[in-house]
Amino acid sequence: MSVLTEIIVRFATLSLLAFGGASTVLPELHRLAVETHHWMSDATFAHLVAISQATPGPNSIIFTLVGWQVAGLAGALAATLAMCAPSSLLIFIFMRFWDRIQGTRWHSIIQTGISPLAIGLVLASGCIITRGADRSWGACALTAATVLAVLTSRLNPLWLIGIGALLGLAGLI
């Protein structure tokens, strides 16, 4: 299979598996890009995640960047299309039925059932990015400080990203 076909097939599958948002399939993206296909190293993947966090826009933009890294402009376009088309089509069709089951038991059952899985996946994303990113005590401390800052304050994440960049430039991480 060519790289582009591989990207389209794999990312389209991820699109339909992304219950709870793009962040929930980051671990699977990592598995594909680093472990299965050896498209990039663990460190490069962590860098790409860092760049995508520092870019304005939806979380799913990380898929575009991975596509770019693997196969240039064609890869970026293929990745973006594969990531949005399947789920967008699905919700476009399904939204007509949503109003009808609103308030019924199915609605609450599905929502309650899916949320613990989404939570586990977001935490898994956090762990996998941490594993790739934190190669020093300074980095571990910065990650821990970020968690604390987010949980205890309403600081805009952009400030934290800026502080991280400065600490990195200062050679502390």
Partner 1 sequence: MHERQQVSHGELFRGFNKIALSGFGGVMSWARQTVVEERGWLSSEEFTSLFGLCQFMPGPNTLNLAVCIGARFQGATGALVSLLGLLFVPFLIIISFGALYGEFGEIPLVQAMLRGIAAVAAGLMLAMGLRMAADLVRRPLLLVFSALILVGVVFLSWPLLALMAGLAPLSMWLSARRYCRAS
Check residue 125 for interaction with partner 1 (CB under 8 A): yes
9 in contact with partner 1 (CB under 8 A): no
Compute the least distance from the CB of residue 5 to partner 1, in Å: 19
91 interacts with partner 1 by CB under 8 A: yes
Query: What is the total count of residues that contact partner 1 (CB under 8 A)?
Result: 111
Of residues 19 through 58, those in contact with partner 1 by CB under 8 A are: 19-23, 25-28, 31, 35, 44, 46-58
Asked whether position 114 contacts partner 1 by CB under 8 A, the answer is yes
- Using CA atoms, how far apart are residues 41 and 45, in angstroms rounded to an integer? 6
CB 167 within 8 A of CB 133: no
DSSP-assigned letter for residue 23: G
CB of 8 to partner 1, least distance (A): 16
Q: How far apart are CA 28 and CA 18, in angstroms?
A: 10
Binding flag, residue 78, partner 1 (CB under 8 A): no
Shortest distance, position 33 Cβ to partner 1, whole Å: 13
SS (H, E, C) 93-161: HHHHHHHHHCCCHHHHHHHHHHHHHHHHHHHHHHHHHHHHHCCCHHHHHHHHHHHHHHHHCCCCHHHHH
Residue 104 as a binder of partner 1 (CB under 8 A): the answer is no
What are the structure tokens assigned to 114, written together? 């899916």
According to the binding rule CB under 8 A, does residue 87 interact with partner 1?
A: yes
Residue 76 in the binding site for partner 1 (CB under 8 A): yes
16 binds partner 1 (CB under 8 A): yes
